[in-house]
Amino acid sequence: MIVEKVDSATALSQPPVRPIDWCTPCTAHHAWNAYEVYCVPRSELSRYRLNSDNGDALIPIRRGITSELVAYANSLGVATITGKPYRPTTQGKNERFHSTLFKWLKKRPFAKDLAELQAQVDVFDQAYNTQRGHQSLEDRCTPQEA
């Protein structure tokens, strides 16, 4: 699983984009590192929402199960929401970012472990934010410039 935080207004991929092993017991804590790196005070976390697709890996609530990630997010006061099935606009920005990242990764050698994958994702993140114009931004500036 790859955890990322993308600013809706600027399309800036805010590092770290983190590949994590979904099978580890500390998945939720690793996922929230993406937010903690920005030194977001816990008192302000209630302003955040974890928006997920409807996959069971993240949000199995529809089967009556609370995942570790949802429980941890809720303990921090972060609301967890899912997109409506068959409504791609809900996840549109995330899906476009994922698509761009995965197309980029497919052109690279297959990573042997999480450390190698993280190194590849770090290179992508730098290029995404600083070297390519974004179609939704004025004058196709880079997310970093916005």
Percent of the chain with pLDDT over 70: 45
Average per-residue pLDDT for the chain: 70
Q: Tens of pLDDT along 1-41? A: 666 666 655 566 665 555 655 444 455 555 555 555 444 55
18's tokens: 């983190």
Coil, helix or strand for 113? Answer: coil
The pLDDT, as a whole number, for residue 117 is: 87
Whole-number Å distance between alpha carbons of 98 and 76 = 26
> What three-state secondary structure class fits 2?
strand
Rounded CA gap, 60 and 132, in Å?
Answer: 36
- pLDDT digits 0-9 by tens, 45-70: 666 777 776 666 566 766 777 777 77
Say yes or no to pLDDT of 125 above 60. Answer: yes
CA distance 83 to 66: 17
CA angle 47, 49, 50 (to 5 degrees): 150
Residue 108 has pLDDT above 90, yes or no: yes
- State how far the Cα of 82 lies from the Cα of 49, in Å rounded to an integer: 10
Q: Higher-confidence residue: 135 or 99? A: 99
What is the structure's pLDDT at 92? 72
Tokens representing 93?
């920005």
Q: Where are the domains of the chain?
A: 2-45+85-140
* Cα pseudo-dihedral 42, 45, 51, 57, rounded to 10: 20
